[in-house]
Structure 1
Amino acid sequence: MLTVETDPAAAGLDATRLARLDARLARWVDEGQLPGFLVTVARHGDLVHVGSHGYRDVEAGLPVTPDTIWRIFSMTKPVTSVAAMSLYEEGAFELTDPISRWLPEFAEPRVYVAGPAAKPVTVPATEPIRIWHLLTHTSGLTYGFHHVHPVDAAYRAAGHEWGTPPGADSAAVSRQWAALPLVFQPGSEWNYGVSTDVLGRLVEVVAGKPLDEVFAERVLGPLGMTETSFGLRPDDDPALLARLYGPGLTPLAAFEKAAQQKPAFLSGGGGLVSTAGDYLRFVEMLRAGGATPDGGRVLGPRTVAHMVRNHIPGGADLETYGRPLFAETPLRGVGFGLGFSMVLDPARYGTVASVGDYSWGGAASTAFYVDPVEDLTVTFYTQLLPSSTLPIRGYLRSLVHQALL
């Protein structure tokens, strides 16, 4: 359960000014642009603010509650990255290792150079896809829902847009992606895609067990995250799962079944559902440098620090090095590490923020960020797809930071 632990003033925040955050978010709800939301603000490890408004199910009149279950989509990616890095800390691999050592289907990747999706002209990759390419989204893999590149169309033709072919498990899905061309030579550009899903499959092979068991053993269990899973568990109340909406609060019925039960494909890139209280445990672990509330440890502090520094070659930002496509972050003034984006230049970013603030979000507009300068974490939950519908993430930073004293 989410319980405010510290008065905002004791943590250096003005409660009156912090109320502006809830008021601005609630305006979107009252205007019919957002179904409902829940937001948390914590500083120095103490929860100082919880705000909510609106409905988890507009049609049924069910309000947002602390135990609402949210589809967190790509906020699964940092969990997968942390699980992978926990294996790295045990010496299971080096970040520069080719992924074909564990996933032989990627032994001879081809790279698109011309032609239509059905008959692309390709050339051999000049270097293998390496583990750090997956962690940094520089592998050349893409998403079918981008609708920009011929390879995106090839993904859709193979059944990969907002989902994967019915019944295909992680091994089958990985082989299907490996059979498609890369968008560019590994390591040469940044492109948001299924890299973290492939990383999840690699983690399964390295650990010798399904991804949900790896998560339970290495992340969820140590953090006491009992309400996070791949789809609803048999004992979960389906009425607690927030309904998914598109712009104009149009219910997205086609997505409803996807999270109702454990799927065949355990998507390391977007398959988890969670509650605000549960995911806050994960975010606070990051803020604490890998430590758990009971004195245990998921990762070492230097590993976390390495993950949240910019790994884009030359220290470039994503606008310079990446493709101007959808991502769960603005691209100007933002770098990318091993599973997280980070603010490199707040002025170029265009929002009040600290240098080194790191974050990620989900396709249904969920988001979190950690500000190590202010020792602050913010998490936000709603169910509006796509996340580019409203400029929520910029408002989160500006409205929290204006309340800091």
Structure 2
Amino acid sequence: MTRHHTPLILIALAAIGCNNPALAKTPQTDADAPRRIADAILAAQIEANGVPGMAAAVTRDGTLIWVGTAGYRDLERKLPVDPDTSFRLASVSKLLTATAAIMLHDRKRLDLDAPVQRYLPGLHLSWPADITPRHLAAHMSGIPHYQDVDAARGKVRFGSVNEAVAIFANRPLLFAPGTRYQYSSYGYTLLSAAIEGAADMPFLSFVSRAIIQDLPLRPDLAPDPAHDTVAYEFEGGAIRPAASHDYSYSWGGAGFRGTAHGVALFGARVMRDGFLSPKARAMMWTPSLMNDGTPVMEGEDRVAFGWRIRTDNDGQRIAHHAGAAIGARSALMLYPERGESVALLSNAVWVSDITETAAMLAAPFQADPTGPQTPCPIWASQYSGSFGDKPVTGTVRFAITDGICRGTLGLGNAAGDWFDALPQTSTDGLAVISILPGDRLDRGALVTPSGTYDFRRQPDGSFVAALSPARKFVVRLQR
């Protein structure tokens, strides 16, 4: 596995992200600090994870306030990612499909609790007649996800959604509808067929006209060499171009692509009054229940109508979805009460907590500058603490660079062993970047090969980053 060395000087110089040109002309005043910090986090993340290219965007109240890019959309030709680079959206595509279904429900053309067969008169399904659009959107229909027999699915262009449904229409259900949760992109293929029937037009046409409209999003039908990123994958720790792949078997589940600001603006549109009725939007974000009243869960998230719902460390409600596909890792996260939308896209699958990473890219725009002010620990030279249940020690260096407190935590311990085991590039040091400008480190972003995490100062003076409920990285700084 190739190792990346990330000394402090590289972190200080790693602001290779570039903003939207309209934003980049603004002088670097205090008002620009959140954008500079988000740029630095994105640049450090791509240095740590070895992914060729990434892009991210944040909106507030429908206005684009930051676009960041880092790395390359084409390594061979040395073409950098720019704000107009188009990435595969992977399963973030499901949010377009779920929103289309809710819009049709809003227009009284799709009953979410009616048998889906009502909208599929030309299709014969071998299953019981009690599968509904709500079952499909919340992954409790019993329809299986991709199986071994589907290994070559990306080599065929299906001429219609109905043809794609025929792939799995005769496969047995995994369980009775409404009794369990099992993620299924094929369920979204069937949901897209129901949308076609309710809209009385092809699925891609309805999504394009009613949902995408003027946004830089589109189905992955034909390549756009001027804007599309090459799809990459890791193999033996090295990055290489991925084989071509046709997503016509599940346009609604994984088949769209677009720019980071296009995805963020889609999220802003969903929150905008008038696009959906408040009642329909609330229904879309209401956690789903199984037949016995048990909430539908995926990890710590409640599964709503396509969207996942959770509460962050500050008590803010989040509606989100992430995706992974050949040559893509993606996330869209909404803060409905804040009116904020954040999108993060990349051109390779990487072992990542991408939702946490997206949240930390939004954090500089949400931080309260009037809170406690802990001076940047430029005095520290080492740390001790724990990683999960194992003790760790290492070197540490901090400095104030470009008006931001930044540092590096040296590894060579249990934390380093864990990151080295990931199937992508590793690092000898983890970047820490304060989410507030100036001489302070009350809260930072801990940038690792698996994603960026909230690095918070505790009352006892230590800093803690939760990589998972069972794995916390506790750091106590020392001289």
Which TM-score tier does this pair reach, normalised by the shorter chain?
0.7 to 0.9
Q: Could you tell me which residue of structure 1 aligns to residue 262 of structure 2?
A: 278
1:188 equivalenced with 2:175 (yes/no)? no
Q: Could you tell me which residue of structure 1 aligns to residue 42 of structure 2?
A: 25
| Uncovered stretches (5+) of structure 2, i.e. residues with no partner | 1-19, 369-479
Contact in 2 for aligned 1:354/1:371 (Cα 8 Å): no
Instruction: Identify the structure with the greater strand proportion.
Output: 2
1:368 equivalenced with 2:337 (yes/no)? no
Match of 1:316 among 295, 310, 332: 295
- Whole-angstrom CA distance in 1 between matches of 2:174 and 2:59: 40
Contact in 2 for aligned 1:99/1:106 (Cα 8 Å): no
1:178 equivalenced with 2:139 (yes/no)? no
Displacement of 1:84: 1.5
Q: Could you tell me which residue of structure 1 aligns to residue 280 of structure 2?
A: 303
Distance 1:315 1:287, change over 3 A: farther
Displacement of 1:27: 2.2
CA RMSD of aligned residues (A): 3.0
Contact in 1 for aligned 2:67/2:260 (Cα 8 Å): no
Displacement of 1:401: 2.8
- Whole-angstrom CA distance in 2 between matches of 1:8 and 1:284: 26
Q: Which amino acid letter does the alignment assign opposite residue 317 of structure 2?
A: G
**How many positions carry a matched residue from both structures?**
339
Displacement of 1:399: 4.7
Displacement of 1:365: 1.4
Displacement of 1:200: 0.6
Contact in 2 for aligned 1:69/1:241 (Cα 8 Å): yes
Contact in 1 for aligned 2:94/2:253 (Cα 8 Å): yes
Displacement of 1:244: 1.4
Q: 1:300-336 deviations in whole A, cap 9, x for unaligned?
A: 12211110121134463615xxxxxxxxxxx12x111
- Whole-angstrom CA distance in 1 between matches of 2:225 and 2:361: 33
Please give the residue correspondences for 1:133-144 in structure 2 after superposition, counting only pairs within 5 Å.
Answer: 133-144=135-146
Secondary structure of residue in 1 paired with 2:329:
coil
Provide the TM-score with structure 1 as the length reference.
0.74
Secondary structure of residue in 1 paired with 2:134:
helix
Displacement of 1:374: 2.3
Secondary structure of residue in 1 paired with 2:168:
helix
- Whole-angstrom CA distance in 2 between matches of 1:369 and 1:356: 10
Contact in 2 for aligned 1:139/1:186 (Cα 8 Å): yes
Displacement of 1:276: 2.4
Please give the residue correspondences for 1:34-45 in structure 2 after superposition, counting only pairs within 5 Å.
Answer: 34-45=51-62
Q: Percent identity?
A: 24
Please give the residue correspondences for 1:192-271 in structure 2 after superposition, counting only pairs within 5 Å.
Answer: 192-193=183-184, 194-221=186-213, 224-225=214-215, 227-231=216-220, 233=222, 237-247=224-234, 248=237, 250-255=239-244, 258=246, 265=249, 267-271=251-255
Secondary structure of residue in 2 paired with 1:268:
helix
Distance 1:278 1:36, change over 3 A: same
Displacement of 1:7: 8.5
Secondary structure of residue in 2 paired with 1:362:
strand
- Whole-angstrom CA distance in 2 between matches of 1:252 and 1:312: 41
- Whole-angstrom CA distance in 1 between matches of 2:23 and 2:63: 8
Provide the TM-score with structure 2 as the length reference.
0.64
Q: Which amino acid letter does the alignment assign opposite residue 286 of structure 2?
A: R
Secondary structure of residue in 1 paired with 2:317:
coil
Q: Could you tell me which residue of structure 1 aligns to residue 466 of structure 2?
A: none
| Uncovered stretches (5+) of structure 1, i.e. residues with no partner | 110-124, 145-151, 292-296, 320-330, 347-351
Q: 1:241-276 deviations in whole A, cap 9, x for unaligned?
A: 111122345234323x53xxxx75561111112122
Q: 1:312-364 deviations in whole A, cap 9, x for unaligned?
A: 34463615xxxxxxxxxxx12x1111121110x54xxxxx3544310112212
Instruction: Identify the structure with the greater helix proportion.
Output: 1
Distance 1:394 1:31, change over 3 A: closer
